[in-house]
Copies of this chain bind each other. A is one copy, B any other.
């Protein structure tokens, strides 16, 4: 999606990790500040913190073009809808004055999620901001439509690589597999074939953390993850005996997120 901006400008990553306490969700901001437009994207924005995220992109002089979701979340309402709405309202307002067109933010989710969005990605796709890109890897198992976004493998892309794993891989853990078409065997294969095969210094950024960890690496999780470092049989056995309570937010969050957090929210919802 999009194409490299080219123009002989080297990409330069601006990166911010942002935390939402209520649902312990991490949102990630990435921008190519080597590019004159300073194009940016948000991964897994949360509805409660959209104001914070938009004011940060404004402070940093970024042009937000994409709002990506790693999957259809069951524990919080995505901020994608509100972000699109904020920009739309602003566009209407400004259009009235200047007859000009404002940038619009496009929401992105995987085709397999079954959720609504402006753009749908699948394994192998690239999402470009300026001359930086994220590669899409299919990592189903927590939900059927989970994807992991990984920074590019080329010389001018960030080193070490970074992977945004959603709930497929958490720091010393992983997402549950008992809802939303989850499968522990599928999750095991996803993580081992799509994440643990990345270079061992790859930085792994999850969608959540409940203990205050912020980042891990492939090397660390292959050896220290108490679930995924085990063999498949042990893993599926662990996952089938978690006895977790029914997810608190699922009945609110899933319907909202299937339409990408109010894909086209009524004006009164803002």
By a beta-carbon cutoff of 8 Å, the part of chain A in contact with chain B is 16-21, 27, 49, 52, 56, 59-60, 211-215, 220, 223-224
Task: Give chain B nearest CB distance to A217 CB in angstroms.
Answer: 9
Complex: how many Å from CA A20 to CA B21?
A: 11
Residues of A contacting B: mostly: mixed
Q: Are A215 and B52 in contact (CB under 8 A)?
A: no
Cβ of A220: which chain B residues have Cβ within 8 Å of it?
59-60
A56 surroundings in chain B (CB, below 8 A)? 213
**Which of these, B27, B49, B52, B224, contacts A59 with CB under 8 Å?**
B224
Could you give 17 example pairs across A and B, Cβ below 8 Å? Answer: A16-B213, A16-B214, A16-B215, A17-B214, A17-B215, A18-B212, A19-B214, A20-B212, A21-B21, A21-B212, A49-B212, A52-B211, A52-B212, A56-B213, A59-B220, A59-B224, A214-B214
A62 to chain B, nearest CB (A): 12
Q: Which chain B residues lie closer than 8 Å to A27 at the CB level?
A: 212
User: Which chain B residue has the least Cβ–Cβ distance from A24?
Assistant: B21
